[in-house]
Structure formats: structure tokens, C-alpha cells
Structure 1
């Protein structure tokens, strides 16, 4: 995507966002800790504690990411996350280029659903939205961050939103401290070859 190859602009940073459902699970029996030559052993039975949604925002060029956990993934949650992005994390940026998939909740209309017209318009004016192609959400760098987060944080049973939030907050802080960025090497020329089927066909 061309937007990833543009030079860094503090007045219009590129931010990628994505969200992930997560099932909260509690242990029925306490796992047996690992010992030398013996792996962790846990019972196959578990207790379901409902589901939640993980929202992640990342600015690839500076190696920043922020994670939030919410009970649901409705228009309201997305709009509230976007308002926090603009007003809390990037209050000085006149505009933000927001890269995300085209889920039906990911739209300016959600801002008007959640807030009064003046607030929604103020937020919308600061957004330049770039949707990833249908079946091409892997072009969203936030998916890379979600993959890393899943491997490093979510490989065990977590029983509550509070515990999950604490885990992800610690992961966010650690990953931001080492400023781990993304070296994006997929070019527009590559896309026209790999994603040829997504381009319109014109006949003479």
C-alpha cells in the first residue's frame, strides 16, 4: 500500500487499527507447574466466562501501539476508541491516516451514532480513512501486532477482562519501550501482481 511508503509526517501520522474477539476461560482444576523435563500440565476441562473484544492501534513508523479491552465490538466501542485515539493519544495531530478493514462498524457513521453531531463532525474531519481490500485485511500492519500479541500473551487461559487488561497493558508497555517497528517491503508493484484478481477488468 502506497500509504506505508510515504515519509513520516508528525501532522498526519499513519495509524493502523484492528480488533480481535477473545474468549475468557477459567481453570476448573489448578494446572501442575512445569518442572525440569516436564511441561506444564493442565486439565482439558475449563469454564467459559464469556467473550470480549481486543482493540489495537499501532503507528508502525515510530513503533507505538495501544491496546484496549472492551466487553463488545459494536459501533459505540469503535467510536469511543477512535475518540480516545484522536483526543488522548494524538491531540496535536491535525489529521490521522487510519488504516483498517471495512467492517460495518468501522465508519464515520459510527461516530454520529455514538456522539452528538458537533463532536462527530470534529472527529471525522481529523480522519483520512484507508480501507484494506476485501479479503486483503492482512495488508493491515495492526494484524501483525495482533499476531505477535497472541503468541506472546494469549497462549493460556485468562479468566477475566481485568486480568486480560493487565496482561495486555504490560505487553504494550514492554513492546513500546523497545520501539519495535515494522519494515514494510510490500510495494504497489507487488500488489498489482499478487492481488491481480481484485483489480477491475476492462474490455475493449
Structure 2
């Protein structure tokens, strides 16, 4: 299946998938109103629907009051996680199942965290972090990112930088949010003593600093290709 560009995914969301949002790699949705039984029945229905369609079981997380679903296809050669037409089809089906089970979408609440490490060479640093975070040195970086195949831990993205002497900030978090939620989350952080370090790339990403100067990027799919 051919990977869709970010703008194609955003157009699909705007046109027929209002319950879903594009995050760093996946298409994501969060459904509220799920007590334990209703949530479990919805998860079972989603799993059955995916299996009947010949689709890999989606990444589903059942938690008190909510069900979170992320959809992506793993490219068979590169290992890259991407959104294709298959994800759009499954998203429509899952949204319909949510209605049947009395759940409501809360798309402004979807969230994804990526760990980001400044590194001169992903080939040098990547295997170490793959072995440490996933327990398997064979989970070598896909392009510039280490993924845990079972999603126990956030993905780790290696941001290329020139070699430099320590110390300087090498790690930061990329916080991916629904576009409509980003400004409110930024405002809340600023009210708690944070500052805007760089907003020249907003709404794609805005760099904030905490009161001690530690940085974090608040990211959305807007303005990306």
C-alpha cells in the first residue's frame, strides 16, 4: 500500500473522519464513555472487524472510561510506520462501531509522545537505545527512529546534530497533539512558569522551555507534507 502524505490524511480527516487525528506516524482516535464491559465489547468488535478485513489488529488501549486506537501500516521493507488507504477504511469502520457501542469521540484529547535525542550518527547511537528500550538489539532504527514493535515505550527519534562536547541539552520530548488542543496546552504550560523558546515554525511545532530552561516541542500535523 502507498503511504499517504500528511496533507492527504488531513484532507480525509476534514472530509469524512472528524473523529480522528494525524499524529507523528499514526492515525489516532480516543473514544469516551466506556465502562469496563462496554469498552471491552467495543475492543472485541474492532478486533473482529479488522480480522475480517484481513487487517493487522490495531493498536488498542482500554483504560477506565476510554478506548484509544492508533492505526498504521508497517512498510514490509523499510519498517516505516505510515498511513495508507487501509487506515482510512479501518478508521471509518471503527468510528461506526463506536457509535453502535454508545461511545463518543474526543479527538482533541489524542496524544503521542516521542523521545528525541540529538545525535551525530543514528547508526552509532541507535542500536544502544534499541537494545535498552526494547530489549532487542535487532530492533535497529527505522530511518531515524527506534520503534518498540509492541509499543510498550514511546518511539525514540534521532535528530541529527553536529558532534559537540558535553554538556548541553541532548534529550527533549516531542508532544504530539490534535491541532485544536495545542494552543490551550501551550497556554497552560506558560501559566505554570514556562516560556516560548521558538514559535517560528508554529503550528507545525512550538518550542517551550520550563522554568529551568529544559525544552519541549509541542507538535501538530499542520504545516507538514
* TM-score tier after normalising by the smaller chain length: under 0.3
The structure with the greater share of residues assigned to helix is 1
Task: Name which one, 1 or 2, has greater alpha-carbon Rg.
Answer: 1
Q: TM-score, normalised by structure 1?
A: 0.26
